A = this chain, B = another copy of it.
Amino acid sequence: MCFNHPPASEIRLERVLYALGDPIRLKIVESLEKGVELACSAASCGLDLAKSTQSYHFRILREAGVIRTRKSGIYYMNSVRREELDARFPGLLDAVLAAAAKGCPNAAPMAGTHPPVK
């Protein structure tokens, strides 16, 4: 099930902005922006949502070309398509994440929440 990842050349600004323009999805991207790869449940950790809703948001991010999803064992591992986004829209993700980091110095105090250590 290798999902519908758009090729880098077809990533469209409107879709990216739309994807980032939702608080839930922005938080997901933030949590992913340590450069790490996280399972859906770990990336949307703390957000109180039905899992079908989470799935929906991951799909939006995926189809916009913001994240990449790879199935590893039982988990769906997600990461931000950093290089491709930076190449296509230089400075955009940096500016968004810098702004997000400033506006919200949230160090969500997550404790022992199901680690996707694999």
Residues on A close to B: CB < 8 A?
A: 12-14, 17-23, 26, 88-92, 94-96, 98-100, 102-103
Contact present for A90 and B96 (CB under 8 Å): no
CB-defined contacts of A94 to chain B, threshold 8 Å = 91, 95
Which 7 A/B pairs are nearest by Cβ-Cβ distance? A21-B21, A91-B95, A18-B21, A89-B99, A17-B21, A92-B95, A95-B95
A95 near B89: Cβ-Cβ < 8 Å: yes
Contact of A103 with B20 at beta-carbon distance under 8 Å, contacts A91-B98, A92-B95 already known: no
- Tell me if A92 and B103 are in contact (CB < 8 A): no
Does B13 contact A22, Cβ atoms closer than 8 Å?
no
Cβ of A18 and Cβ of B13 under 8 Å apart? no
Other-chain residue from B17, B23, B26, B98 in contact with A20 (beta carbon distance below 8 A): B17
Name A27's closest neighbour in chain B (CB-CB): B14
Q: Which residues of B lie under 8 Å from residue A96 when comparing CB positions?
A: 13, 17, 92, 95
| Chain B min CB distance to A49 (Å) | 16
